[in-house]
A and B are shown apart, each in its own frame.
Chain A
Amino acid sequence: MSDHDTDEQLEDLPLDALPLDAWHRARGARMVPFAGYEMPIQYEGIVAEHNWTRESAGLFDVSHMGQLLLDGPDLDAAVEAILPIDLSTLRFGHQRYSLLLDEEGGVLDDLMVSRWMHSLYLVVNGATKWDDIATLREALPDDITLNHMDDYALLALQGPKAVDALARHVPEVTDLTFMKFAPVTIAGHRATVARAGYTGEDGFEISLPAEAAAEVADLLCAEPEVKPIGLGARDSLRLEAGLPLYGHDMTPETSPIEAGLTFGINKRRRTEGGFPGADRIIREIAEGTARKWVGLKLEGRLPAREGAEVFVGADKIGTVTSGGFSPTLGAPIAMAYVASAHAAPGTQLEVEVRGKRLAATVTPTPFVPHRYFRGS
């Protein structure tokens, strides 16, 4: 027996321990190498953890992600020269999705940008954070400081009951709506809570000093709604939520417009440009792209994984970029780039898995509806 899928196995880099390493092991997590760290892939099993998060609340350790703090004079202009974001409309306490692009408009990373008092706080992907830091340092003027908050942990509490569990300790989180954040105190520790996450559920991301992480994780897991959840379920949850994964669904070889991330190019920037790759991005918004990223539902039970080819008859018209078995739907789902002529919802396609052709239907995403809290 041997694994086909080695996407969580990086090359032989020395592995660092995250702040909660011992905490995960004490709770029976199976640890695997990911993004240069040993990370918990699962505790009791991916399906059980997945379903628990959809029904109650799951605590994810996402401390491998990069937390960056930018400061300095004319900060907004300096950052707008690098990211296609409109900072003139980003107020304190608000967070926005953005993209780090290369000069050709390829995606180097996707990230969240929040405005603190005089600073901008960025959360970037774990696997790309060192490259991102190098890219940003290179592109930013010398008088802008970039602080990598590597002495901070990041916890994500996700699920319909996340708000109940967290509000017992931080009552003000009930006032937050999706993509807003607030500085708070939790168990006597100063932290920042954003109402956001990557599972499609309501929930929060909690940034806090690394030395407080185990105490806060214990506090949250003592709530009856909360269990620790591994990266395996995080991946199946985000797949059902139709959210792209950096390195798989978007890469330097894909443009954000092909990837359905046009919303990540803020409105003012689409006309004004002035960010890396702007010429291509603005042209693609106007003229469309030759291929598009779509959701696929597959008939039967056999999942199609990343790299599986998509066909119409004898013609290869695309490639799967993420795929797996949806525990919520009880069926295989996938996301793929396909030729735009075959990208309309309802289009019948075929996906080839180990020489077998599986019937697939182009399906609107998310596969499982988002339940973000946008206000009552």
Chain B
Amino acid sequence: MPRYYTDEHEWIDVEDDVATVGITDYAQGQLGDIVFVELPEVGAMIEQGKDAAVVESVKAASDVYAPITGEVTEVNPALEEDPALVNSSPEEDGWFFKMTIAAEAELDALMDEDAYKAFVESL
């Protein structure tokens, strides 16, 4: 299953025509203790680069952008009960939402794992 990354620290897993979205381990480390995640509505159309979710840490609120354009098909119910899953398992159990892929070409502009690793090291 191919995984892509944005330079805003979202990750996206693509399986057939569904994408799963979350934030990276680097991002959760920067945010610190996460106390609330505001997720998009199922059925919402979101556009690449636009606000899709909000992560609240003890200190601050941060936007999470949509890595691609598509329709939200599912949100992670576990985050409502336990927002700290984003800290403990950011790239697996702490996923945010699933969405359709409206334009596959948008994926080409994203980074693969090696490129993202190099990007983080450059920060």
Q: Is A5 touching B59 in the complex (CB atoms < 8 A)?
A: yes
Q: Is B56 touching A325 in the complex (CB atoms < 8 A)?
A: yes
Q: Does B105 contact A (CB under 8 A)?
A: no
Q: Is B63 touching A235 in the complex (CB atoms < 8 A)?
A: no
A346 vs chain B, min Cβ distance (A): 25
The answer to whether residues A46 and B32 also contact, given A1-B27, A2-B8 and a CB cut-off of 8 A, is: yes
Cβ of A78: which chain B residues have Cβ within 8 Å of it? none
The answer to whether residues A5 and B36 also contact, given A301-B83, A354-B54 and a CB cut-off of 8 A, is: no
The answer to whether residues A46 and B61 also contact, given A1-B9, A303-B36, A354-B38 and a CB cut-off of 8 A, is: no
Q: Does B58 contact A (CB under 8 A)?
A: yes
B36 vs chain A, min Cβ distance (A): 5
- The B-contacting residues of A in range 122-165, CB under 8 angstroms, are none
Which B residue's beta carbon lies closest to that of A302?
A: B36
Q: Is B59 touching A235 in the complex (CB atoms < 8 A)?
A: yes
Q: Is A1 touching B8 in the complex (CB atoms < 8 A)?
A: yes
- Interface digits, A292-303 against B, CB 8 Å rule (1 contact, 0 not)? 000000000111
- The A-contacting residues of B in range 1-60, CB under 8 angstroms, are 8-10, 23, 27, 32-33, 35-36, 38, 54-60
Q: Does B99 contact A (CB under 8 A)?
A: no
CA distance A65 to B38 in the complex (A): 36
Cβ of B27: which chain A residues have Cβ within 8 Å of it? 1
**Secondary structure dominating the interface of B:** strand
CA distance A303 to B54 in the complex (A): 12
The answer to whether residues A324 and B36 also contact, given A1-B8, A301-B83, A354-B54 and a CB cut-off of 8 A, is: no
**Secondary structure dominating the interface of A:** mixed
Cβ of A3: which chain B residues have Cβ within 8 Å of it? 60-62
Q: Does A359 contact B (CB under 8 A)?
A: no
Q: Is A46 touching B36 in the complex (CB atoms < 8 A)?
A: no
Cβ of B65: which chain A residues have Cβ within 8 Å of it? 1-2
CA distance A89 to B23 in the complex (A): 57
Q: Does A232 contact B (CB under 8 A)?
A: yes
- Interface digits, A42-57 against B, CB 8 Å rule (1 contact, 0 not)? 1001110010000000
- Interface digits, B48-85 against A, CB 8 Å rule (1 contact, 0 not)? 00000011111111111100000000000000000100
Cβ of A46: which chain B residues have Cβ within 8 Å of it? 32-33, 57-59
CA distance A79 to B51 in the complex (A): 52
Cβ of B57: which chain A residues have Cβ within 8 Å of it? 46, 325
Q: Is A303 touching B32 in the complex (CB atoms < 8 A)?
A: no
- The B-contacting residues of A in range 274-314, CB under 8 angstroms, are 301-303, 305
Q: Which of B32, B61, B63 contacts A305 (CB 8 A)?
A: B61
CA distance A303 to B32 in the complex (A): 15
Q: Is B64 touching A47 in the complex (CB atoms < 8 A)?
A: no
Which B residue's beta carbon lies closest to that of A232?
A: B59
Q: Is B58 touching A1 in the complex (CB atoms < 8 A)?
A: no
Q: Is A47 touching B60 in the complex (CB atoms < 8 A)?
A: no
Which A residue's beta carbon lies closest to that of B63?
A: A2
Cβ of B33: which chain A residues have Cβ within 8 Å of it? 45-47, 327
CA distance A236 to B59 in the complex (A): 8
Q: Does A4 contact B (CB under 8 A)?
A: yes
Cβ of B35: which chain A residues have Cβ within 8 Å of it? 301, 303, 325, 332
Q: Is B58 touching A327 in the complex (CB atoms < 8 A)?
A: yes
Q: Is A1 touching B59 in the complex (CB atoms < 8 A)?
A: no
Q: Which residues of chain A have a CB within 8 Å of any CB of chain B? A: 1-5, 42, 45-47, 50, 232, 235-236, 301-303, 305, 324-325, 327, 332, 354
Q: Which residues of chain B have a CB within 8 Å of any CB of chain A? A: 8-10, 23, 27, 32-33, 35-36, 38, 54-65, 83
The 4 closest A-B pairs by CB, nearest first: A5-B60, A325-B35, A47-B33, A4-B61
